[in-house]
Structure formats: C-alpha cells, structure tokens
Amino acid sequence: MNRYLTFIAIIIIAASCKPKKIETQSELGDVDVTSIVAIGGNSFAGYSDDALHREGQEYSIPSIVLSRMEGSNQFNPFSQPYLSSSSDGINLNGNSKLILGYKTDCKGVTSLSPIRKATSGNLNDLNNWIYGTDGPFYNLSIPNLKSEDLNNVGLGNPANGTGNYNPWFSRIASNQVNSSILSDAAALNPTFLFLSVGQDEITEFAKTGATGTVLTNAVFYNNLQNIAATIPNAQGVISKIPNVLLTPYFNTIPYNGLTLDSDQATTINSVFNPIGITFQVGDNGFLIEDASEPFGVRKMVEGELVLLGIPLDSVKCFGMGSIVPIPDRYILSLDEITAIDQLISLYNNEISSYAAAYNYALVDPTQTYLSLQSGIVYNGVSMSTEFVSGGAFSLDGLNLNPIGNALLANQYIKAINNKYNARIPLAPVTNYPGVYFP
C-alpha cells in the first residue's frame, strides 16, 4: 500500500514541476525617473495614418519606451494629451485617420486602399483645450513641430491667426497666450528628456517636393540650444532625423510608371517629338514639370521620386504624367534629393554635437529605416518599407505604425541602457498592432 502511495506522490510532485522563467533583472541604472518629459513632433505625439488618433498616441515612441521601464510606474500610463477613445482621429484639414478599405478609382476598379475612417474628423478633438481637465502633460510632443516653435510664447494662441500658431499646442498648453513648449516643460522640472526635433520640418520640406524653405543648420542648432538653456540639468535621449526618403511615401510609385502601348506611344510622340521628347512602347518615365528645361517639361529619370500625395486619378484617367506634366510639388528631382540628403546630414551633425555637448544618449532612426529597407524578420514576421504590406509604416506612408514605433523604441532603449547603465528590457515588437485588414 505504502509503495503505491509513494509512487503516486512521486508522480504528482513531478507533474506539478514546471520549469522556471530565466531570471532577469530590469534595472533603470542611473536614469533619474523623477520627471520624464517628451518633446518632439509627429513620431513622439503618435501621429500616424495621416491623423492624430488614440491608438497612435498609446503607442507613441516615448510611451512604448516608458512602458518597458519597470519602477517608473508613475509614468504608466504616461501622461499624454489623449483624444477620446471613441475619436476617429483628426488632422489639420479636419480629416479622420486613414484605414484600409475598398476604393473605386476613376476607371471603376475597386481595390484595397487607404480611405478615411469617417467622412470627417471631429474638429472638437482638435479645438478643445484639454489642459484644464487632463493636464499637465508629460508628453508635450505635437505634430508639425518646428525647431523655432520650441521657445515660441503664444504658439498655442489662436488669436495669432492661421499659420502663426499650432493648434496641436493650443490643445495642451497650460496657457494658450503665455506659454511655450519649453516653458510648459520647464514647469514640470524634468529630470529626463525625450527629444526629437527637426524631423517634421525636414519631412514637410520633402513631402512638398522640396518647394518650401528650411532653416540653416546653424539656426537649427541655436533653436536646439534653447532646450538646454531652459532645462539645463536634465538627462536625456535625443533622436537624429531619419532619412525620410526611405519611407513608402517616396518609394511606392515608380518613376517609370507610364506604361504605353504602341497607339498611345504614337499619339504622345506626335505631341512631344517636336520638342525633343520621345516615348517608347512599354515603361516610360513620367512627364514632369521642370522650369530649367526649354519647354518647362521633361521625362523623369531613374533615381527620381514620385510622392504618394500625387492625385492618382489624374494620373490614371486624366493624362497627368503623360500629356499633362506632373507638378513639381509631387516630384523630387535628383538635385532635390541630394539637397534633402545634405540637409538631413547637416541637421544630424548639429544634433550629434548637441547630444555630445549636453551628454544625452543619441538615437539614429535611419538605422531602423535602413534595416526595414533591406527587410527584416522579427519572430517570424517579415517587415519592410513596402507600402501597407511592409507592416511597419502607417497608412500615410510617412509615419511608423505601432509595430514600427516598437522597433524604433528599441533603439531608444538600447541607447538609454548604454548611456545610463540601465537594463530596460526591449519591447516585444510583434505584440504591437500593425495594419488592420477589412
């Protein structure tokens, strides 16, 4: 009898035996978590799918990093200026966010495509001042941040008139008339800063086909220094500017997407041969505006980029890119590409100098973009810079989605771990949301 009982006991003990988790220690090292404040643009605010929306905010880069910092519980949840969870998202044009849906083009072809979630966004999401009920906000990041805005008192003041204030800051400023981003930040006595400045102004320049103007790198550096002047003793991590030209926004429509049969080629050639432009049967570079050409138009050449913002129906049905040249604002020429690359490089040199001068950890998001460009496999999931199917960029093709943010957030965690002797565990990238399919 006893023998059986012993046998049963052995089996039961063995059955309840489970292997233990590998013990790891999460440590914050020298990071002073007393007051963690984020100042940045789109990527820090969680702007994606061409709008500010709740899910994007929840998985903003600072939010993901902080969620991995055990022991900084006072920041979980991180105090961000959230839209209501029922919001469809909102952008400055009053549109809701993009989702994947079905769209019928001018030729009557229905296909899966980014469409607006609602006919319009709720403008109250943009216009309501929420500091009074939800502030203060430790994530002071706002879409369309420009470096000269940091120290701009009244940046949130609608009375300054359109173009002279940023409505995203109006929402969250402690005082729309008297506060700047930096004064609101300083009021929180930051001990640790998340900084990402310069990206939005470069992106804006690039996505308007390099038609606008940008600050010189020297002015940019002075603007950065305003941060250290206002908040002198904080630790921090600062991001370089990613090479925006690697995003799907600039790499989805091929330069030679003008495909002609022989009849079409003959017709177009009868128009353009007289001014020295020849089209062939098959793939051709699109016809674009170029003021430096004698007749103001030419064909695109390899290496030039068509922007995703181009009105596709005009291309498909109304001769844009063939009979009608594509306006300059939808195109980056080789010269413009070189200019943007140089600009990014100059700005990034300033950011590196600034990080060195004030002893911040430094992150280079271009590394994440480049690895996506060459394609990565993360826990069995393939990701790339392909529009939609690449899985890491949001439906606007410019901003990362939560999975992409998690990939990039891991670069921040590594940089912080390295700089501040911390051991913050990385974010499990594939646990974050990606593209939702209908």
Contact 236, 195 (CB under 8 A): yes
Which listed residue (20, 93, 161, 270) binds other proteins by CB under 8 A?
A: 20
Contact 174, 131 (CB under 8 A): yes
Local structure of 65: helix, strand or coil = helix
- Residue that has been written with the tokens 């965690």 in this structure: 413
| Only segment of 2-10, 32-40, 326-334, 361-369 that touches other proteins (CB under 8 A) | 2-10
- Work out whether 427 is an interface residue with other proteins (CB under 8 A): yes
> Measured between alpha carbons, how far is 326 from 355 in angstroms, rounded to an integer?
41
> Measured between alpha carbons, how far is 241 from 100 in angstroms, rounded to an integer?
28
- Name 432's Cβ contacts closer than 8 Å, sequence gap at least 6: 59, 64, 402, 403, 405, 406
Give me the least distance between CB of 156 and other proteins, in Å please: 34
Residues between 297 and 316 that touch other proteins (CB under 8 A)? none
Give me the least distance between CB of 23 and other proteins, in Å please: 9
Give me the least distance between CB of 376 and other proteins, in Å please: 8
Contact 31, 420 (CB under 8 A): yes
Contact 84, 125 (CB under 8 A): yes
> Measured between alpha carbons, how far is 104 from 207 in angstroms, rounded to an integer?
25
User: Binding-site residue total for other proteins (CB under 8 A)?
Assistant: 42
Which listed residue (6, 12, 216, 296) binds other proteins by CB under 8 A?
A: 12
66: its two tokens:
């902080």
237: its two tokens:
């991590």
Residues between 58 and 117 that touch other proteins (CB under 8 A)? 100, 102, 112
- Work out whether 428 is an interface residue with other proteins (CB under 8 A): yes
Comparing CB distances to other proteins, the nearer of 70 and 313 is 70
**Binding string, 24-53, against other proteins, x = CB under 8 A?**
x-x---------------------------
**CA 237 and chain centroid, separation:** 17
Local structure of 320: helix, strand or coil = strand
Comparing CB distances to other proteins, the nearer of 110 and 133 is 110
Comparing CB distances to other proteins, the nearer of 54 and 299 is 54
Q: Which of 61, 46, 118 is nearest to 86 (CA)?
A: 118
- Work out whether 380 is an interface residue with other proteins (CB under 8 A): yes
- Residue that has been written with the tokens 């959230």 in this structure: 82
Q: Is the peptide bond before 77 cis (omega within 30 degrees of 0)?
A: yes
Q: At what angle do helices 402-420 and 365-374 cross, to 10 degrees?
A: 130
| Only segment of 310-318, 341-349, 350-358, 373-381 that touches other proteins (CB under 8 A) | 373-381
- Work out whether 121 is an interface residue with other proteins (CB under 8 A): no
Residues between 124 and 183 that touch other proteins (CB under 8 A)? none
Which listed residue (175, 293, 378, 384) binds other proteins by CB under 8 A?
A: 378
- Work out whether 9 is an interface residue with other proteins (CB under 8 A): no
Residues between 381 and 400 that touch other proteins (CB under 8 A)? 381-382, 391
Local structure of 193: helix, strand or coil = strand
Residue 313, phi then psi, degrees to nearest 5:
-65, -35
208: its two tokens:
């308007």
Give me the least distance between CB of 363 and other proteins, in Å please: 17
Give me the least distance between CB of 105 and other proteins, in Å please: 16
**Binding string, 322-361, against other proteins, x = CB under 8 A?**
----------------------------------------
Comparing CB distances to other proteins, the nearer of 16 and 213 is 16
Between the alpha carbon of residue 144 and those of residues 64, 195, 297, 341, 425, the distances in Å are 21, 14, 32, 20, 31
Comparing CB distances to other proteins, the nearer of 35 and 371 is 371
Which listed residue (93, 133, 270, 379) binds other proteins by CB under 8 A?
A: 379
> Measured between alpha carbons, how far is 174 from 165 in angstroms, rounded to an integer?
15
Question: Residues interacting with other proteins, by CB under 8 A?
Answer: 1, 4-5, 7-8, 10-12, 14-22, 24, 26, 100, 102, 112, 376-382, 391, 425-428, 430-431, 433-438
